[in-house]
Amino acid sequence: MKTDLRQGKSKGRVEYKLNSLKGKKILITGGLGFIGSNLAHKCLRLGAKITIFDNLNLNSGGNIYNIHDIKNSIKIVKGNILNYQEIIANISDKDIIFNCAASSSHPFSMRKPLLDLDVNNRGVINLLEAVRRFNPEIRFIQLGTTTQLGKLLYKPADELHPEFTTDIYSANKSAAEKYVLIYGKTYSIPVVVIRLPNVFGPRACINNSEVTFVNYFIGLVLQKKDITIFGDGKQLRNLIYVDDCIKALIMAAQNKKVNDEVLFATGDEHYSVAKIAQMISKYVGSCKVKFIRWPRGRKAIEVGDAVISNEKIKRILGWYPQVSLEEGLIKTRKYYQKCLKYYFK
């Protein structure tokens, strides 16, 4: 299936008209979290029948408010991907599964490696085994991370870059990706892995310093607090607004060309951590940006510059990031201004 691309009003901008998902039955694990809940909203608008599978784990950023406006239009299952029987009960009749379930904190993974291993590896194996036995024709979309690469050997890094992960979370996500690809090839399950950078935007967890730093910085500024940066903040990061992320995931789910592929869905631009903080101060709310020494243990898992190429996904899917950092920050501020209290309980 081809995705309709239309030239937008902004110069050089490509506008997408995603294909309909009418009648498709979609399972979103981790669907109460940041990316999962945004997926649920978009897929519902495209006509899909949505089942969210989530256990509201505190380490994963789930928030029931994220789906408050669509809760009567979707099915919500309180379930855990570590419970094989619960997965079986919800997977057999689905057309697509987006696996957004994860323990997503780098520091937490270093403190609790076995818990991270359970969720990010054993949980994925549970899903794959359930698919293999009860629904091998389902399209399986696995979310990966750019931090799987570790410290870069060349820039920009592409999908062929070696992986030398520096923390347990990234190592487990790397292993999970390999499990997905193995099952896809061995059992002819249509799978694809989308590796994501720092995703920001509405419905994110903005009250936890151990989840994505961009969203945490946004949360600080919305509370009229200052931003604190470890070190000099010169390391480069790749960012993507959540709407662009969601479009990449849906396009991957609709196109057989990406079966068995790994794709970076990343932004075109790279910014230093310090620059990101400055732009958040400018577009979300004025604040001071402070620099302190690296805490013990955090420097050891720092990857340095994360300069990533998105040429492969552009070439195969025709996907392009559409929302700039400035525009994304403004959209994010407007969202939280209306409902901030639900993200700081």
Which domains are present in the chain? 22-343 (3.40.50.720)
Average pLDDT value for residue range 316-335: 97
Average pLDDT value for residue range 194-214: 94
59 pLDDT more than 80: no
Instruction: Tell me how far apart the alpha carbons of residues 6 and 17 are, in angstroms, rounded to a whole number.
Output: 7
Assess contact for 75 and 140: CB atoms under 8 A: no
- Res. 4 pLDDT band, cuts 50 70 90: very low
Average pLDDT value for residue range 122-138: 98
H or E segment to which residue 76 belongs: strand 75-78
Assess contact for 233 and 299: CB atoms under 8 A: no
290 pLDDT more than 70: yes
- Res. 16 pLDDT band, cuts 50 70 90: low
The whole-number pLDDT of residue 15 equals 63
Angle between helices 273-283 and 213-222 (to 10 degrees): 30
The whole-number pLDDT of residue 209 equals 85
The whole-number pLDDT of residue 3 equals 39
pTM for the full predicted model:
0.93
112 pLDDT more than 90: yes
